[in-house]
Amino acid sequence: MLANRLLYFFSIDQPRRPNVIRQVLTNKKTVSNLFWGLSYQMLDWLGVDPRIENVVFNQQIAILKQHNWLQQIDDQQLCLTQAGQQCLATFLAEHYWRKAPQLVQRLNCRAWLQMLPLVVQTFSEMSYHNQHYYVIATSPQIQCWFKKWWRHFDHQRLQTDLPQLLNVFLENLPAQQADVFLNFFAGHQVAGQTYTQIAKQTKWTVTDLKILHEDLALRFAVFLSKQSEPWQALVSLFQKSPLPTSCAQTYQRFLNGESSKKIAVERHLKINTIREHLLMAAIFCQNFPYQQLLVPQQLTFMKESLSGAPSTWDYQIIEPREIDFFSFRLYQIQQTKIRQQGKSIDE
């Protein structure tokens, strides 16, 4: 059953490498892997399954091939079959599926899943004027963050706000999902239920419920980030960028007008490392200034020499004309994004 989830990441029309899919799901951020993840249009799923083991993953792929749900195209690539597509449709109809996988890269999920129950429990007990209760287990850092946030804002107002905000958020969910999400929380004289307990009461598996819990908690964080200042401040503690810190530093200096060579010298990094940072920024960031790195002559030659889907391009075709691989990959990223946005290849 767990193997069936992987069918979602394969395509009938586009051969895909299982290793790329695994590395995207486990958050392996190399430029090559991210480019192919971009080509497969699955970067929203980056890091959603960081603990999947290589051996287990390969076993699951083998199961899917045995059932003829995946077809081997060459030594490294597989395609989804018609039977696999039907199997996937059945699976999605019976199991919970993430609605906002991209939030895993935008928020510290593990920490937020500790903070949110603490907030709910505290305000629940506060509404009954109860100061003597066992706080749910959280890390010392989460407790420290909570206390600083609690002291900085009017917690009487926050205690009034939280039930109202939860109700507004839950009103937009199917009733069963809303009920299950609430059942995870502990409150005044109420113990939060475990995944196993809820699984016995619903059609979902323990895995489904773990995914639902994480997905709705992260979506609720985004909802809170659009509310008043105290809630924005709370969520901001958990926000992060998919772009690694060192890459972000390089990219910011580049945007400030510094050359790659100057950045490399002052940051004590190799020029190839700086180029990898910029390629990663091009993959993750909107409005990347490609024109500052791709000269007109290069663009003209690559437009004339390369055709078809960018993922099928071969660098060996243009290498003799002394266009470096960095420029080739950057153009490949740009054109992949343009195609996925439904624009002309020449725009």
Residue 98 Cα distances to 32, 104, 195, 219, 290, angstroms: 26, 11, 17, 10, 33
| High-pLDDT (> 90) share of the chain, % | 83
Residue 262 Cα distances to 51, 207, 257, 258, 274, angstroms: 38, 49, 10, 6, 10
Find, among 48, 5, 54, 44, the residue nearest to 26 by Cα: 48
Q: Write down the domain spans for the chain.
A: 2-94, 109-236, 245-288, 290-347
pLDDT in tens, 276-311: 999 999 999 999 999 999 999 889 989 988 999 999
Q: What span, in angstroms and rounded, lies between the C-alpha atoms of 54 and 224?
A: 37
Q: Which CATH number fits domain 2-94: 1.20.950, 1.10.10, 1.10.287, 1.10.1660?
A: 1.10.10
Amino acid type, 126: M
DSSP secondary structure letter of residue 42: -
272: how many CB neighbours lie within 10 A of its CB? 12
Which class for 202: exposed (0-12), middle (13-18), buried (19 or more C-beta within 10 A)?
middle
Chain-wide mean pLDDT for the chain? 92
Q: Is the pLDDT of residue 322 over 80?
A: no
Identify the band that residue 346 occupies on the pLDDT scale cut at 50, 70 and 90.
Answer: very low
Q: What span, in angstroms and rounded, lies between the C-alpha atoms of 221 and 238?
A: 9
Residues in the chain: 347
Whole-model pTM: value is 0.91
Residues 6+ apart with CB under 8 A from 178: 170, 171
